[in-house]
């Protein structure tokens, strides 16, 4: 009897401890896991930002030597870097505009309308996202060479632009479709009951409501375009974009200015996302 009573008291004392541990795990485990995941994802970015202030002794920027701001004062003072950065920005801007416009229209068509080959089109949209980039780049190169595209696009700028628009459209369609999934159609019907035509209804009701999704899709397309290397390497010819410039310099030593440009692009992207989020919150509050 004494042993049984002792075991019962021990079990009762362990129960509150187990419950306490369970409560602590429920409260902090997910928070700790999320924090570790964020640190893991942002650690390379933090290293890039840190080494943008490095003062290396030679061409290599892999060992910390000392703090300096001189590379921030002259971020483009490397031969070939201004042209590469400018070309990447132009490509990203043009491909984002085209892919966002086309992808938004495709998403509206897939969600709103029933037409022939709709299910096939819906499935084919995901192919560029599922296809490995090296296969996609090789296929595009084969297509451009077989149709004789090079004479029509000097320096192969046009072939890079076509390739970027092609793989960006899929991401835009998926993002805008997610926004259209829970779209309140009764607002459009109310607008048309008030004698608004389809064009006015789209610009006054539909477009403002799906604009956050379009902006998110555009930001995603811009980021995918400006940092693409594999597909661009197949379709660029002698043209050199910013990622290709980094790859070429990696063999002899990446200059500090590359870290500076990367930090600037990262900060601009984060700022754009922050401004978009604040604008959405203000629109919801009003």
Instruction: Express each pLDDT in 246-283 by its tens digit.
Output: 988 888 888 889 999 999 998 988 888 888 778 777 76
- Report the pLDDT value the prediction gives residue 87, as an integer from 0 to 100: 92
Average confidence (pLDDT) over 10-26: 64
pLDDT in the model for residue 5: 47
Confidence of residue 104 (pLDDT cuts 50, 70, 90): very high
- Is residue 211 predicted with pLDDT exceeding 90? no
Which pLDDT does position 14 carry in this prediction?
A: 56
Q: Which of residues 225 and 202 earns the better pLDDT score?
A: 225
Name the token pair of 82: 């201004």
Q: Which pLDDT belongs to residue 8?
A: 45
Say what the pLDDT of residue 46 is: 92
Whether pLDDT at 196 is above 90: no
Mean per-residue pLDDT over the chain, rounded: 83
pTM, two decimal places: 0.81
Look at residue 154 in the predicted model and tell me its pLDDT: 47
Lowest mean pLDDT among 22-26, 84-88, 98-102, 240-244: 22-26
- Indicate the pLDDT class of residue 10, thresholds 50, 70 and 90: low
* Reported confidence tier of residue 205, pLDDT bands at 50, 70, 90: confident
User: Model confidence over 214-223: pLDDT tens digits?
Assistant: 988 999 999 9
179 contacts 215 by C-beta, under 8 angstroms? no
pLDDT of residue 232: 92
- Considering the segment(s) 79-254 as one domain, its CATH architecture is Orthogonal Bundle (1.10)
> Could you report the per-residue pLDDT of 127-182, keeping only the tens digit for each?
888 888 899 988 888 888 877 655 554 447 888 999 999 999 999 999 998 888 87
Please report where in the chains the tokens 């921030």 appear, as a residue. 72
pLDDT value for 65? 86
């Amino acid at each position: 009897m004494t042993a049984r009573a002792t075991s019962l008291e021990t079990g009762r004392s362990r129960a509150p401890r187990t419950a306490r541990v369970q409560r602590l795990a429920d409260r902090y485990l997910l928070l700790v896991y999320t924090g570790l995941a964020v640190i893991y994802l942002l650690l390379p970015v933090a290293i890039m930002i840190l080494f943008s202030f490095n003062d290396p002794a030679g061409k290599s920027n892999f060992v910390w030597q000392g703090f300096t701001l001189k590379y921030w004062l002259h971020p483009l003072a490397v031969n070939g870097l201004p042209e590469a950065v400018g070309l990447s920005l132009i490509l990203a801007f043009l491909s984002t505009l085209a892919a966002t416009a086309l992808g938004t229209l495709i998403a509206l068509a897939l969600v709103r309308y029933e037409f022939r080959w709709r299910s096939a089109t819906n499935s084919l949209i995901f192919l560029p996202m599922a296809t490995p980039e090296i296969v996609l780049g090789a296929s595009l190169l084969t297509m451009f060479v077989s149709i004789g595209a090079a004479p029509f696009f000097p320096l192969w700028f046009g072939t890079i632009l076509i390739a970027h628009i092609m793989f960006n459209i899929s991401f835009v369609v998926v993002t805008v479709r997610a926004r259209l999934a829970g779209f309140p159609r009764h607002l459009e019907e109310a607008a048309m009951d008030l004698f608004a035509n389809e064009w006015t209804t789209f610009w006054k009701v539909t477009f403002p409501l799906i604009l956050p999704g379009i902006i998110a899709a555009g930001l995603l397309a811009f980021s995918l375009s400006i940092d693409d290397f594999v597909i661009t390497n197949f379709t660029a010819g002698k043209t050199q974009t910013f990622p290709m410039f980094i790859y070429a310099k990696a063999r002899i030593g990446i200059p500090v200015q590359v870290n500076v440009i990367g930090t600037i692009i990262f900060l601009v992207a984060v700022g754009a996302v922050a401004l978009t989020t604040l604008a959405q919150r203000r629109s919801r509050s009003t």
